[in-house]
Amino acid sequence: MDGNNGTGHRRVVAALDGVGMRRHTTGQVILDNVGWTVRAGEHWALLGPNGAGKTSVLRLVGATAFPTTGTVDVLGHRLGRVDVRELRARIGHVSTSQRVPGDLTGHTTVLTGHTGTVQPLWKSYDDEVRERAGTLLAELQIKDLADRPYGVCSGGQRARILIARALMADPALLLLDEPFNALDLPSREDLIDTMRHLALNRPGLSTVTVTHHLEELSPAISHALLLREGRVLAAGAVEEVLTQERMTDCFGRPIEVSRHAGRWLARSGGFA
C-alpha cells in the first residue's frame, strides 16, 4: 500500500525510495529499503516501537540526515544535490527538545522563526515580520502568550508557540517530533485542536507527527506509517493502516484499536 490512492494529482512534498541507513560507527542497520511518499495536504502519523527508525525517517525528510543507500527528495530537491541549509529553511520543525531561552516572550520566540536562530536578530524583523508573528499567535489561539516569558509557559503552551515559530517560514512541510511529550490531558487536547485547525486553515500544508499514542492523533490525520525494526510495515490511508492486525504486528503484542468521532484509541488486548 503506497498511501497515494486518489491523491496522484497532488504535488509530492517528500519521497523516500529504497532508503537504507547504517550507523557509521558500528554498521548497524537503522533503516532498510524504506519507501514512502508524502503529498501536499496530507497529514501523516509516524508510529512504531522504540528503535523502529521513526526519528531517522523524520531527520531524512527534514534534511538533517542523509541516507546510506537509496534516494530522498524533499520539496522537489534531492538530498546530496542541493544546499540543505536553504532546504531546511523551507521546512518547519517542532520538537520539545528545542532550546529556547526562557526569558524570551512568546512573540519574540515566534519572531526567531523568521531567521531560524535561537536568539533574536532584531535588525531582521521589520514591522511586517512582527505583525506576522502576532497573526500566527492569534491563529493558534495563543495571542495572550505574546508577552509571557517562554520559561513560565506550560508544556502545551510551549508546543503551540513552537508551532507558530515554525510557521514563520511559511513551510510546505511541518515536522513534529513527539510534540505531546509530557503534556497533561487539557494541554494535549488544546494541541490536538491546534493541529485540527491548522489542517482546516492551511489546505496545502503537509504534516508528519511522530507519536507513541493513537490518542494523540487529531481527527485531521489522514495517513499513517508504521515502522518496525527499520522497515515499513504499512503506509497509507489512516483507516486502512491503524487496524488491530497491523498494530499487533507492529508492536509485537495484541492491540485493540477503536475510533470514535475521528479520535483513535489503542490498548493491549486480553482485558475483560
Please tell me whether residues 81 and 14 are part of one structural domain.
yes
Please tell me whether residues 130 and 235 are part of one structural domain.
no
* 183 Cβ contact list (under 8 Å, min separation 6): 155, 156, 159, 191
Q: How far apart are CA 28 and CA 190, in angstroms?
A: 39
Q: How many CB atoms lie within 10 A of CB 192?
A: 21
Q: How far apart are CA 135 and CA 142, in angstroms?
A: 10
pLDDT of residue 14: 97
Last residue of a domain, one of 155, 170, 185: 170
Please tell me whether residues 140 and 192 are part of one structural domain.
no
pLDDT of residue 1: 37
Please tell me whether residues 73 and 178 are part of one structural domain.
yes
Please tell me whether residues 181 and 254 are part of one structural domain.
yes
Query: Between β-strands 223-228 and 231-237, what pairing exists: parallel, antiparallel or unpaired?
Result: antiparallel
Domain hosting 54: range is 1-90+173-272
Please tell me whether residues 182 and 271 are part of one structural domain.
yes
Last residue of a domain, one of 113, 140, 170: 170
Please tell me whether residues 75 and 115 are part of one structural domain.
no
Please tell me whether residues 165 and 177 are part of one structural domain.
no
Q: What is the CATH number for 266?
A: 3.40.50.300
Q: What is the SS3 assignment for 195?
A: helix
Please tell me whether residues 67 and 187 are part of one structural domain.
yes
pLDDT of residue 28: 84
Written as tens digits, the pLDDT of the chain (272 aa) is 344 444 457 899 999 999 999 887 777 889 999 999 999 999 999 999 998 999 999 999 999 999 999 999 999 999 999 888 888 889 999 987 888 999 999 999 999 999 888 888 999 999 999 999 999 999 999 999 999 999 999 989 999 999 999 999 899 999 999 998 888 999 999 999 999 999 999 999 999 999 988 999 999 999 999 999 999 999 999 999 999 999 999 999 999 999 998 899 999 876 44
Please tell me whether residues 139 and 193 are part of one structural domain.
no
pLDDT of residue 159: 93
Number of domains into which the chain is organized: 2
Please tell me whether residues 130 and 239 are part of one structural domain.
no
Please tell me whether residues 137 and 25 are part of one structural domain.
no
pLDDT of residue 64: 92
